[in-house]
Amino acid sequence: MKIIKDKVAKLSFVALLMSLTAAMFYTPTASAHGEKSQAAFMRMRTIHWFDLNWSKDTVAVNDTMTISGKFHVFAGWPETVDKPEVSFLNIGIPGPVFIRAGSWIGGQLVPRSVSLELGETYEFKVLLKARRPGDWHVHTMMNVQGGGPIIGPGKWVTVTGSMGSFVNNITTLTGETINLETYNLSNIYFWHAFWYALGLAWLAFWVKRPLFVPRHIAVSSGKADTLISAADKKVALGFAVATIAIVAGSMGTTNEKFPVTTPLQAGLLRGMQPIQMPESTVSVKVDDASYRVPGRAMQMTLTVTNNGDSAVRLGEFNTAGVRFLDPAVLQDETAYPDDLLAEEGLTVSDNSPLAPGETRTVEITASDAAWEVYRLADLIYDPDSRFAGLLFFFDAEGNRQMVMIDAPLIPSFI
């Protein structure tokens, strides 16, 4: 009976080990991201992306494309999210389908984390080099220490060609040109296989011994000391000494072969230059705001005052990357992602030109399926049910003014 139990335990352990090993090599293909599952308040009240441009919809392997635009750091940053004092401009893609060849904020190269100021607006650009063929959802993204990734709008980009032809050549500080895609790849394979084999040898040594049930019985009966023999201790010591020797030896030979090295750069870049946005001559007060659940529409009552010299009209409301436009004022010409663009989603009770010095109270409705598709309506279930967004006003000559709004949002279920 004891022999049968031992064999069953060993087979169970081996089966579990094989399952875990198989899981390590199973990598299902991902095509898009979980931006819809990110809390609505995170997308509405942190980073507001606008004027985005994906330079290409189709790009060949080894060719480059850029994502550029602007982002506004919301002054009313939520208390539950750490401030963007340590942030990293990133791109959200499903794996290494592109490599980032360069990132800039305000014209300054930003290869590492930066400090951003609340209430400021910044220009950015990211240069990407295509690596893996396929259709990929490419997002803007800001990683914030303590706040996680804040995902911006995404657009489908098609990469053509063959991944086998991809090269990533760089010139080192010593003048050597190498291809990072294949550099020292055989060495990487060797060490992975070596440590994997060493680990299996360690497991095999103990698998041949009595496993779970016999060991439990021995421990329960006070005979735990009998489970480890003198030979077991010698083998364990041998594995430990060999591991230390191999690590020390390989480190020594590596330092001898590569005497010139620099550490990874992990400092924080400060002093990012924000855009000097034209001072807005339009002031907006949110009298009330509600979200009508059955109609998938947000309704606002705004009191708008024009303190400028020319008449203006409201053309766009932008929140969480979704753009609601009044087609009588603004037509999109930027090939913005269709699922994030409500070209006729903005209606204004009176959107005639607001004359200089005039104050008007208007009813605004921003309606589109995107409220539900992108789960922005989940905001009404948040303990701090507030929304934020950008309003864009235009004069007759096409000049634009940006106004930030922020207010509580009350749900309506009728």
For residue 192, the domain's CATH number is 1.10.287.710
* Residue 65 domain-assigned (yes or no): yes
Contact 66, 127 (CB under 8 A): yes
* Residue 295 domain-assigned (yes or no): yes
Strand-pairing partners, residue 389, are 405
* Residue 93 domain-assigned (yes or no): yes
* Residue 267 domain-assigned (yes or no): no
Q: Check whether residue 192 and residue 170 sit in a common domain.
A: no
Residue 78, token pair as written in the block: 């939520």
Strand-pairing partners, residue 370, are none
pLDDT, averaged per 10 consecutive residues of the chain (414 residues), comes to: 49 53 49 71 93 96 97 93 95 93 95 95 97 96 93 95 94 90 94 96 82 77 79 92 96 91 87 88 95 90 96 96 95 92 95 96 95 88 88 94 94 81
Contact 311, 337 (CB under 8 A): no
- Residue finishing a domain among 174, 195, 223: 174
* Residue 27 domain-assigned (yes or no): no
Contact 74, 390 (CB under 8 A): no
Q: Check whether residue 226 and residue 120 sit in a common domain.
A: no
Q: Check whether residue 380 and residue 321 sit in a common domain.
A: yes
pLDDT at 279: 85
Which structural domain range is residue 324 located in?
A: 282-412
pLDDT at 27: 46
β-strands 148-160, 58-60 pairing: parallel
State the Cα–Cα distance between residues 406 and 118, nearest whole angstrom: 14
Q: Check whether residue 304 and residue 408 sit in a common domain.
A: yes
Contact 228, 218 (CB under 8 A): no
State the Cα–Cα distance between residues 274 and 94, nearest whole angstrom: 30
The single residue listed with the structure tokens 């208007």 is 362
pLDDT at 84: 96
Question: Helix (H, G, I), strand (E, B), or coil: what is residue 215?
Answer: helix
CA angle 44, 49, 54 (to 5 degrees): 140
Q: Check whether residue 166 and residue 208 sit in a common domain.
A: no
| Full-model pTM | 0.82
Domain count, the chain: 3
Q: Check whether residue 120 and residue 149 sit in a common domain.
A: yes
Q: Check whether residue 92 and residue 156 sit in a common domain.
A: yes
* Residue 40 domain-assigned (yes or no): no
CATH at 347: 2.60.40.1580
* Residue 132 domain-assigned (yes or no): yes
Q: Check whether residue 159 and residue 245 sit in a common domain.
A: no
pLDDT at 29: 46
Q: Check whether residue 287 and residue 195 sit in a common domain.
A: no
Q: Check whether residue 400 and residue 339 sit in a common domain.
A: yes
CATH at 117: 2.60.120.570
Q: Check whether residue 207 and residue 139 sit in a common domain.
A: no
* Residue 378 domain-assigned (yes or no): yes
Q: Check whether residue 209 and residue 161 sit in a common domain.
A: no
**Cα dihedral value 236, 241, 244, 247, nearest 10:** -100
